[in-house]
Structure 1
Amino acid sequence: MIPVQGVTGQTIAVLGLGRSGKATAAALKAGGAHVVVWDDGQEARAQAEAEGLELRDLNRADAWEGIAALITSPGIPHLYPDPNPVIARALDLGVPVDNDIGLFFRSFATPDWDNFGTTPKVITVTGSNGKSTTTALIHHILTSVGRPAQMGGNIGTGVLSLEPAHDGEVVVIELSSYQTDLARALTPDVAVFTNLSPDHLDRHGGPGGYFAAKRRLFAEGGPDRCVIGVDEVEGRYLANQMGQGPGDDRVIRISSGQKLERFAWGVFARKGFLSEYRKGRQVASVDLREITGLPGAHNHQNACAAYAACRAIGIAPREIEAAFRSFGGLPHRSQTVRELDGVRYVNDSKATNVDAAEQALQAFKNIRWIAGGLGKDGGIAALQPHLGHVVKAYLIGHSGPDFALQLAGTPYEVFDGMDAALARAHAEALPGDTVLLAPAAASFDQYPNFEKRGEHFTALVNALGS
């Protein structure tokens, strides 16, 4: 746990009692604060009270006497579409509102660091897509080369539940727009922006607000190095703002598809090869084509981001390349489960919408595609231009029959569930084929979440031939 600094003797209110809220309450207590908590859900309140937390109904006007700050969980709206009533009350009273990310950044450094040989560092990763894979890949590289490292934030451990830093340690944190939007302190050593596509627009009041939330990590944080994906105009704008010209190597531009030779520092992937350029000269290259944990152009962009972040803290190219080769990928995200008789089985259950499924379909050839579930508006019509690698579709779930009507000339069969679809795909697959679960649909018609769907697929694949 990281005790929160600067709160001794203060009364601090915590709103939201999920994982991050409870961890925040504990870290505030450890820092000497008097903590009161509230959650709109009765069950969460009862559980918190049973765990010894002091409840205070923050909807009451008299509840705010003596409260020095309100710490809110990231899922609770503070601005758009409307502020939660408790947060609105804090704004009216002028009570500072923060989140666990802000508390982390103001509390991470301690006097113990004066005795360290190497100052700890924080690498943060934000963006629309690829955040989790990039964060996990950076952490994997660090541990592979023997650097002490922790990983947390929007992936894995909550930031205040991390351990206080060790000598030379690197902490890698995934940050969502919900987390960067509100944090009052943001001071990473290296900040990564992967890409931007429309998401959470109601929460941020439109695309401009969504981008502004991401941009705060850079503009407010002042990182020593910025790793910025420039395949969208927002990334190019951000890179332009953070640098003093193309010769400023504090900005490392990354891309999947375009050359970046004219800048002081660029990392890009084209035709399966990652290249690092410094001041117009290529200094390193990595062949990504046979790295099974990073298939497809979207993962090549993730590789560029992770590579650049690790180069920014002095890790050598060949060490990074070796770590790439041992990276297994994250569960349910283009995860190679198994290769059997020349056939690859890939779990991309996280592909719950058309955009994600498109990335998966572009990553492989000779695809036997398992798709379906609870489809989104428009079905899979937008995927028609990307079905050239699909040998056959095996459609499941509520939207399977509807998806069949949108496949044009692609062969297909419709099945009741995953068991039958995988059995048929396995029976028909030939060496060189990829059996790909990329549903392009939510899981809730047959599974509680995409993780359970991916776990079922994985279990079935691992049972093949046994």
Structure 2
Amino acid sequence: MIPVQGYEGRRVAVLGLGRSGLATARALRAGGAEPLVWDDSPEARDKAEAEGFMPVDLSRADAFRNVAALIVSPGIPHLYPQPNPIIAQALMAGVPVDNDIGLFFRSWAMGGWEAFDQTPRVVAVTGSNGKSTTTALVHHILEVAGRPTQMAGNIGRGVLDLEPPVDGEVVVLELSSYQTELARALTPDIAVFTNLSPDHLDRHAGMGGYFAAKRRLFAEGGPDRAVVGVDEPEGRFLANQLAEAPEDDRLIRISSGQKLEGFGWTVFARKGFLAEWRKGRQVAAIDLRAIRGLPGAHNHQNACAAYAAARALGIGPKLIEQAFHSFEGLPHRSQIVGEKNGVIFVNDSKATNVDSAAKALQAFGRIRWIAGGLGKDGGIAALAPHLGPVVKAYLIGHSARDFALQLGGTPHEICETMERAVTSAAAEAEPGDVVLLAPAAASFDQYPNFEKRGEHFTALVRQTL
């Protein structure tokens, strides 16, 4: 646990008692503060009370009297589409509003660091797509390199649940826009921006607000080194704002698909090869085509981002390449879950929309595609340009028949259930085929979440092996 500093003997309100909220309350108490906790859910309040916390109804008119700060869980809106009433009340009272990320950065540096040979460092990763894979890959590279490391944020543990750092440790954080938009302190040593595509637009009142939330990671404190994906206009704009000149190597530009020339430090992937260039010459290259845990152009972009962050930490290219080969990927994200008679089974249950499904379809050759679920507006019509590799589609869930109408001439079978889809695809697959679960739809018609859907697919695949 990271005890929160700066609130000793003061009352601090905590709104939202999920994973991060409870961790925040514990860390505040460990730092000598008096947490006043609240959640609309009686079950959440009961759980907090069982840990000795005092539930206080923060909607009362006098709730913020003598309160030093309000700490808010990420899912609670503070501005758009409209502020949560409790947050609005805190704003009216002039009570500072923060989140656990802000508390982490103000509390991370602890007494005793002067005795360390190497100061602990923080790598923070944000962006629309690939954050989790990039974060996990950086963490994996550090483990392979023998560096002490922890991973937290939007993946794994809450940031205040981390153990106090040891000499030379590197903490790797995945940060969503919900986390970066409100944190009052954002001071990573290395900040990574993967890419930007439309998401959470109601929460941020459009693309401009969404980009502004991401940009705060680079603007509030100013990292020592920035890694920025420049395949979209927003990334190119951010890179331009951070660099003093094209040769400024405090910024590492990354790309998947274009060669980056004329800059001080770049990492890019083209035709399956990652290249690192510094001061006008190539200094390293990695063949990504043989790396099973990072298939497709979208994962090659993740590889570039993780490679750049690792190089900024002083890790050599050969060690990074070794780590790439042993990286197994994250569950439900282009995860290879089995292989039999030359047929590979891939779980990409996280592909809940057409954008992520398109990336999965571009990552493999001959595909037997399991798709469907609770479809979104427009169905899969936008995937038409990406159906070339699909040998046959196996459609499941509520949207199976609607999806079938949008497949054109692509062979398909309406399976309805995951059991039937896996059985049929496995029986018909030939050596060299990939049986790919990339649903392009939400899971809620048949599963509580995409994780349970992916776990069911994985269990069925392993029964066939």
TM range (shorter): over 0.9
Q: Secondary structure at the match of 1:111?
A: coil
Q: Secondary structure at the match of 2:306?
A: helix
Cα distance, 1:397 vs structure 2: 1.1
Q: Secondary structure at the match of 1:32?
A: coil
Aligned twin of 1:294: 294
Aligned twin of 2:52: 52
Distance in 1 between the 2:63 and 2:412 partners?
A: 61
Cα distance, 1:126 vs structure 2: 0.1
Cα shift readout 1:422-454 (whole Å, capped 9, x = no counterpart): 111111111111010101111111111111111
Distance in 2 between the 1:247 and 1:362 partners?
A: 34
Identity percentage of aligned residues: 75
Q: What amino acid is the match of 2:13?
A: A
> Does 2:165 correspond to 1:165?
yes
Query: Does 33-42 or 178-187 show the bigger shift?
Result: 33-42
Cα distance, 1:221 vs structure 2: 2.2
Distance in 2 between the 1:64 and 1:265 partners?
A: 49
Q: Secondary structure at the match of 1:13?
A: strand
Distance in 2 between the 1:253 and 1:50 partners?
A: 49
1:413-428 matches, cutoff 5 A: 413-428=413-428
Aligned twin of 1:127: 127
Query: Does 144-153 or 36-45 show the bigger shift?
Result: 36-45
Task: Give aligned pairs, total.
Answer: 465
> Does 2:445 correspond to 1:445?
yes
Question: Once superposed, which parts of structure 1, at least 4 consecutive aligned residues long, lie more than 3 Å away?
Answer: none
Distance in 1 between the 2:448 and 2:41 partners?
A: 21
Distance in 1 between the 2:344 and 2:47 partners?
A: 45
Q: Secondary structure at the match of 1:413?
A: strand
Cα distance, 1:360 vs structure 2: 0.3
Q: Secondary structure at the match of 2:464?
A: coil
Cα distance, 1:156 vs structure 2: 0.1
Aligned twin of 1:363: 363
Query: Does 268-277 or 453-462 show the bigger shift?
Result: 453-462
Distance in 2 between the 1:48 and 1:2 partners?
A: 19
Q: Secondary structure at the match of 1:61?
A: coil
Aligned twin of 1:188: 188
Cα shift readout 1:383-440 (whole Å, capped 9, x = no counterpart): 1110000001111111111111111110011112011111111111111110101011
Distance in 2 between the 1:441 and 1:416 partners?
A: 14
Q: Secondary structure at the match of 2:362?
A: helix
Distance in 2 between the 1:74 and 1:377 partners?
A: 26
Aligned twin of 2:432: 432
Q: What amino acid is the match of 2:368?
A: R
Distance in 2 between the 1:254 and 1:298 partners?
A: 12
Cα distance, 1:43 vs structure 2: 2.4
Cα distance, 1:261 vs structure 2: 2.0
Cα distance, 1:352 vs structure 2: 0.6
Q: Please tell me whether the aligned partners of residues 261 and 281 of structure 1 are also in contact (alpha carbons under 8 angstroms).
A: no
Cα distance, 1:47 vs structure 2: 2.4
Cα distance, 1:49 vs structure 2: 2.0
Distance in 2 between the 1:218 and 1:154 partners?
A: 18
Cα distance, 1:39 vs structure 2: 1.2
Q: Please tell me whether the aligned partners of residues 10 and 33 of structure 1 are also in contact (alpha carbons under 8 angstroms).
A: yes
Q: What amino acid is the match of 2:216?
A: R
Q: Secondary structure at the match of 1:63?
A: coil
Aligned twin of 1:379: 379
Distance in 2 between the 1:439 and 1:72 partners?
A: 33
Q: Secondary structure at the match of 1:134?
A: helix
TM-score by length of 1: 0.99
Aligned twin of 2:310: 310
Q: What amino acid is the match of 1:448?
A: P
> Does 2:80 correspond to 1:80?
yes
TM-score by length of 2: 0.99
Distance in 2 between the 1:416 and 1:402 partners?
A: 12
Cα distance, 1:97 vs structure 2: 0.6
Distance in 1 between the 2:351 and 2:165 partners?
A: 35
Q: What amino acid is the match of 1:30?
A: A
Cα distance, 1:46 vs structure 2: 2.5
Cα shift readout 1:272-322 (whole Å, capped 9, x = no counterpart): 000000011000000000100000000000000000000001000010000
